[in-house]
Amino acid sequence: MFRFLLLLSFLALTGITYLIISFKIFSRSSSRPPSYSREAHVRQVPRVEHRNSKWTHICSRRGIILICAVLTNALVLICVVAAHMVTTGMSSATAMSGFNLNSVINFEGTELQQVRELDMQYSQMRAPGIYGGIPFSLTFGVISLLFVVAGNKPPHLMARKLLVGALVFQGVGAVAYVVAVGLYLHFVITVNSTDVCTRRERLYARNGYTWMNCDVSGADAAVALFGLITAILYTAGFVLTIQTIRHVKRYLQDRKQREEERRKNQSQPHRAPLRAETTFV
């Protein structure tokens, strides 16, 4: 399971790196609104965008950051479930898989009954972690995906409330994930320091299962790792969204100013110069 998590982490980081690098192809055409020329002698016409595909705007810098956040939220969800399955013990694993416990582990008589009881107690103690982790990562992943789909337009054509909503969501997400990672690790360490975990560790170690201990497991560490990566992504998205809102505000102000100048010029037509009257004698 630990090797699988390492492989999953490597593939996820590779995919995230590829997505972050690929934004260079699309970012300039979709992250900023078109600008007006400031020269007086040039006709004031907005710059035309050459790529108008929805994927062009979805794959902007903000879009790629949110896509990466969707992937890391999914990895957090997978690792939370894997951590619960790995640490609940042999009896819980055999119960879920349908195998006979006596043919899988070397416990007999009272030890077998103790293992079942301790695994059940430990699983119940760890239950808040999975019941809280699944809705948390699933909620942030779904909302991030909704913002990705909603960003299929140029920024200056999107509703301002949508940009502000994305800004608030990513700011809250960055803070929430840092707090959640800290609480998750504190919860895991607290559960692993209980007498139930210590007795369970001794019972498993007595029969050669030294890997079933009270240390923080690799799956729990993977949850914390991907949670912190998600917080970093939300922080980067927060900064990029602030820049986008500023560019859009500047663009709208420039467009309004030029429209007022155009109306003013149209309301004051140029007068032809008067010719001097000539008299004939």
pLDDT confidence of residue 37? 44
Q: How far apart are alpha carbons 198 and 45 in whole angstroms?
A: 74
Amino acid 124 reads Q
* CB 151 within 8 Å of CB 145: no
pLDDT in tens, 105-131: 666 678 778 888 888 999 999 999 999
Tens digit of each residue's pLDDT (9 = 90 or more) over 177-225: 999 999 999 999 999 999 999 998 888 888 777 878 888 888 999 999 9
pLDDT of residue 12: 57
Alpha-carbon gap, residue 202 to 208, rounded angstroms: 10
Predicted confidence (pLDDT) at residue 39 exceeds the cutoff of 50:
no
Domain ranges for the chain, please list them. 2-28+52-256
DSSP string for residues in the chain: -HHHHHHHHHHHHHHHHHHHHHHHHHHHHHSS-------SSS---PPPPS---HHHHHTSHHHHHHHHHHHHHHHHHHHHHHHHHHHT-HHHHHHHHT--GGGTS---HHHHHHHHHHHHHHHHHHHHHHHHHHHHHHHHHHHHHHHHHHT-S-GGGS-HHHHHHHHHHHHHHHHHHHHHHHHHHHHHHHHHTSHHHHHHHHHHHHTT-TTS-SSPPHHHHHHHHHHHHHHHHHHHHHHHHHHHHHHHHHHHHHHHHHHHHHHHHHHSPPPPPPPPP----
Going 184 to 82 to 228 to 154, the CA torsion angle's sign is negative
CA separation for the pair 244, 52 (Å, rounded): 18
Residues 57-104 pLDDT 10s: 677 888 899 999 999 999 999 999 999 888 876 655 544 444 444 445
- What value does the mean pLDDT of the chain take? 77
Neighbours of 110 (CB within 10 A): 8
Tens of pLDDT, residues 228-242: 999 999 999 999 999
Q: Which of 31, 58, 61, 69 is nearest to 148 (CA)?
A: 58
For the entire predicted model, the pTM comes to: 0.73
